[in-house]
Structure 1
């Protein structure tokens, strides 16, 4: 069925419960997004819906609002407490995010609408008491939901009203095909189903056949990414050492403003950049598939709350590490244990991201689209800057070709001409700092992180109380020789500043060292930073 030609409705025209409307007002959502305006009325009518909309279009609220409304309606005549809705998502981070949205939307009816997230990787017995109370909405990954169904702690046969599968195009690629097929055997014959996806791939069509019945297909006529007026794409040719120098210069001189995600392709590179930047007193946090789910969610929370303005994320394709040959990318299976229920470039709601920096260029078109989709969300401006090595040029060409096809062959990427000679003094510091982050330093930094997690683990708290000697052994283990931080690297002496920047800031040559360039924050240069990356136009380090 094609897209219906209904008029665009506002929230107050959708016959939503007053408690939901009050929550929406508190969230300051003045008008629904296109996907919300079109899909919410259809879901309220009880129709199966296949929603295709780009990242950042408001898909989560588009299916949670109708679920909450349905639960409130059913509560008026219900005789017992029952599970009415199940939301499946491919990663634990996304499950946590969905629960957060539901919590915000039910702030005025939290006693009537109860939600449980079963995605955390804990023993089933720990979650059993929560499920015995039969919460109205269950959120979880397919694997966790299936485990509860098999164990008998969750029964949906007679109560389920709505099934939602979010990021449907990732469900199969995360290895959940068998789990989803088995889950359907535990469901009633009649229920409403919703699939939400950024793409309509072959896998989505398989899921559509499996769970949907005569669905309305909402394939919105909108680009995969925000328009050029909102999202700017830049690329710069640079090999790894130059990438490191440029990254240090941009961040230390505050030429990039606002929250920034730095994407790399491997976990080790993720830690290498973190240790590299920390030598210059540039605080960062990391996110990758090998971190425990609790740490991943905490890292996202700290980033969103502004504790950190920079997060370094490893976006490993298919959760495998990749190497380059002269011909094409070659996947290499990693021996390390990675959490398949994690996601970095997809699903996670990084809030108010101003810039995405691709230190390593993504390995395919969709990965680029999803990385770029982390910024320019809602009505916010955003920029994507991609560092391109010679071997990565072929990947850039593929992305350019794909994006140009949707824009009537209009060029998407602008060349970012960074004059390295302008920051030559930075280069020597960058080289020393980059080389000091050895494989051993990366490995020991990760060991330090693992030890810290062991100390903080609630599961092991009782064990250490009974075995204090083991705790002492861990605490008095050999000191990990991570990268030494030299205090003077936090300063940027005047002689290191590009001449064009001195002129712009109105500086005099006799001035001394500027700690973290804090004196720049109120200069004319700040006015040039309406779009963080565009501030480079004001320097001779032009785009």
Structure 2
């Protein structure tokens, strides 16, 4: 069914004045394409199956109708408090982001709308008091919501009026298909459902048949990535692994990559290796991966968004997709066969960084490892050039990654009608002077250094864990042993690598490269030079010309008396 044309402004959509005030505070002048189509239909009570590219405003497209529905339902006298809306998200990081967005939009009606975040804490017992107060909106992953339904700390059968599935295709890719089907048994027969997705896969279509009732299908006519005038996409084919690290060193140390950037790698070990490599050159970076607890991951994202770090090294481990079509096998047996690998390796199955997370003010995305699929590339690159901001994406490929890069190029060319992935014109010969420094840094980042870096991170998590505070109070010796354990030295940092001398900067880049030569520390002066107020001794800088020799007159021996 085609969506009808809607007015251009939020003020013509029939939203509550308090919501319009919040929208104005956020600086949203006009709705995006998906918001202009979805909000009026959702306010009419229609089920929606909406597809829009990342960064197009899907969160606000369902958040505003959801809040309007709650304000309208609670406008009557003596309305009982109950959970009326449920938002299912694929990851804990995205859940906290959705909660933040809902609270921003409900800033001027916070007394009337309560939002419960089931993603902030991992302990079910700590979340029960929040659910006992019967919040208006509950946000969580399907697994967490189902656990509370099983423990009877949450009830939805008699009160739920609105269900939202955010990033539906990723919900299925993370293995939540069985949890969603089990969760549907706890919902009432009649409710409004909004399904938001970046792609329409066969699994999403099957989920549509299970959840939605006569939905309106929304597909704004826009490409999955912004145009070339807003997003510039480049690719560089490297000959060796060393060339990748050399180019990254040159881009960052010579100031060729301006602004904050996300560096995507394929595996967890390479995440730490790249972080330690950057630290060799005095470049602080934070790491984001599935081994970190949810609270620590959200803390890393907050630090990056606040500008404490300019570079974030992230992994986007892909979990095998679970079909959404009902199966004759028991749901739990199928779930165990679908996603045990991440759990056996200590990874959080609810981790996801390339999708949904709103990293703020990202100027560039650098694919240090080529993504394995076109979808993964789109979701990585979609972290930049959001809203009306410009962005740049650079992909580095080794010979064994050329085939995957060619598939991405073909898919982008077919979608846009022309090649959008341009070759990055960079002469490696111009930065050969930095190669020996790059090799020196790579030799310092050994497998043992990577292992110790991961151990140090786990040690810090144990010391800062809220759950272990009571244990350490009862067992102070454990805390003493943990604090005074042998120090871990992930990699020997050589201070001379922090500075790039002027003679190492390529002649063609000296005009735009940012070097540390201007920040060179001046040597303290003394004596007459300090009294003159100058910082340099007089004379020429050539010691062979400034050196003076004064011949001392020999003293005559005393004449003996005659």
TM-score (norm 1): 0.90
1:495-524 per-position Cα deviation (integer Å, ceiling 9, x unaligned) = 11111222557x9xxx993449xxxxxxxx
Change over 3 Å in CA distance of 1:69–1:332 after alignment to 2: closer
Residue 454, structure 1, aligned to residue 459, structure 2: no
- Aligned partners of 2:32 and 2:164: how far apart in 1? 19
- Aligned partners of 2:237 and 2:10: how far apart in 1? 47
Residue 247, structure 1, aligned to residue 260, structure 2: no
1:248 and 1:430 in contact (8 A); partners too: yes
Unpaired segments ≥5 residues, structure 2: 322-338, 521-562
Unpaired segments ≥5 residues, structure 1: 321-330, 517-543
Aligned length: 501
1:442 and 1:482 in contact (8 A); partners too: yes
In the other structure, the counterpart of 2:68 is 69
In the other structure, the counterpart of 1:293 is 294
In the other structure, the counterpart of 1:513 is 517
Counterpart secondary structure, 2:489: coil
- Aligned partners of 2:393 and 2:287: how far apart in 1? 19
1:203-228 per-position Cα deviation (integer Å, ceiling 9, x unaligned) = 11111011100000001111011111
Residue 306, structure 1, aligned to residue 315, structure 2: no
Alpha-carbon offset, residue 121 of structure 1: 4.9
For 1:385, which of 382, 387, 394 is the aligned residue?
A: 394
Counterpart secondary structure, 1:295: helix
Alpha-carbon offset, residue 434 of structure 1: 1.2
Alpha-carbon offset, residue 333 of structure 1: 5.4
In the other structure, the counterpart of 1:237 is 237
Counterpart secondary structure, 2:109: coil
- Aligned partners of 1:492 and 1:319: how far apart in 2? 44
Counterpart secondary structure, 2:108: coil
2:256 and 2:512 in contact (8 A); partners too: no
Residue 166, structure 1, aligned to residue 170, structure 2: no
1:408-445 per-position Cα deviation (integer Å, ceiling 9, x unaligned) = 2x111111122122112211111110121111100100
State the superposition RMSD in angstroms. 1.9
- Aligned partners of 1:277 and 1:222: how far apart in 2? 37
1:233 and 1:412 in contact (8 A); partners too: yes
In the other structure, the counterpart of 1:53 is 52
In the other structure, the counterpart of 2:185 is 185
2:368 and 2:395 in contact (8 A); partners too: yes
1:9 and 1:38 in contact (8 A); partners too: no
1:114-193, aligned counterparts within 5 Å? 114-193=114-193
In the other structure, the counterpart of 1:496 is 504
- Aligned partners of 1:275 and 1:231: how far apart in 2? 29
In the other structure, the counterpart of 2:528 is none
1:278-289, aligned counterparts within 5 Å? 278-289=279-290
- Aligned partners of 2:340 and 2:492: how far apart in 1? 32
2:412 and 2:421 in contact (8 A); partners too: no
Residue 364, structure 1, aligned to residue 380, structure 2: no
In the other structure, the counterpart of 2:17 is 18
- Aligned partners of 1:483 and 1:187: how far apart in 2? 53
1:42-87 per-position Cα deviation (integer Å, ceiling 9, x unaligned) = 0000000011000000000000111011111111125211111000
Alpha-carbon offset, residue 119 of structure 1: 2.2
In the other structure, the counterpart of 2:403 is 394
Counterpart secondary structure, 1:318: coil
1:366-422 per-position Cα deviation (integer Å, ceiling 9, x unaligned) = 0001111111100000111000100100001101111111122x1111111221221
1:319 and 1:338 in contact (8 A); partners too: no
Counterpart secondary structure, 2:206: helix
Counterpart secondary structure, 2:380: helix
In the other structure, the counterpart of 1:471 is 479
- Aligned partners of 1:471 and 1:273: how far apart in 2? 31
Change over 3 Å in CA distance of 1:157–1:504 after alignment to 2: closer
1:304 and 1:350 in contact (8 A); partners too: yes
For 2:362, which of 341, 353, 368 is the aligned residue?
A: 353
Alpha-carbon offset, residue 123 of structure 1: 2.3
Residue 405, structure 1, aligned to residue 404, structure 2: no
In the other structure, the counterpart of 2:556 is none
In the other structure, the counterpart of 2:531 is none
TM-score (norm 2): 0.87
1:197-250 per-position Cα deviation (integer Å, ceiling 9, x unaligned) = 000001111110111000000011110111111111101111211100110110
Change over 3 Å in CA distance of 1:341–1:219 after alignment to 2: same
1:338-349, aligned counterparts within 5 Å? 338-349=347-358
2:7 and 2:13 in contact (8 A); partners too: no
Residue 100, structure 1, aligned to residue 108, structure 2: no
Counterpart secondary structure, 2:156: coil
- Aligned partners of 1:185 and 1:417: how far apart in 2? 57
Change over 3 Å in CA distance of 1:121–1:203 after alignment to 2: farther
Alpha-carbon offset, residue 466 of structure 1: 1.1
In the other structure, the counterpart of 2:543 is none
1:29-48, aligned counterparts within 5 Å? 29-48=28-47
- Aligned partners of 2:510 and 2:272: how far apart in 1? 33
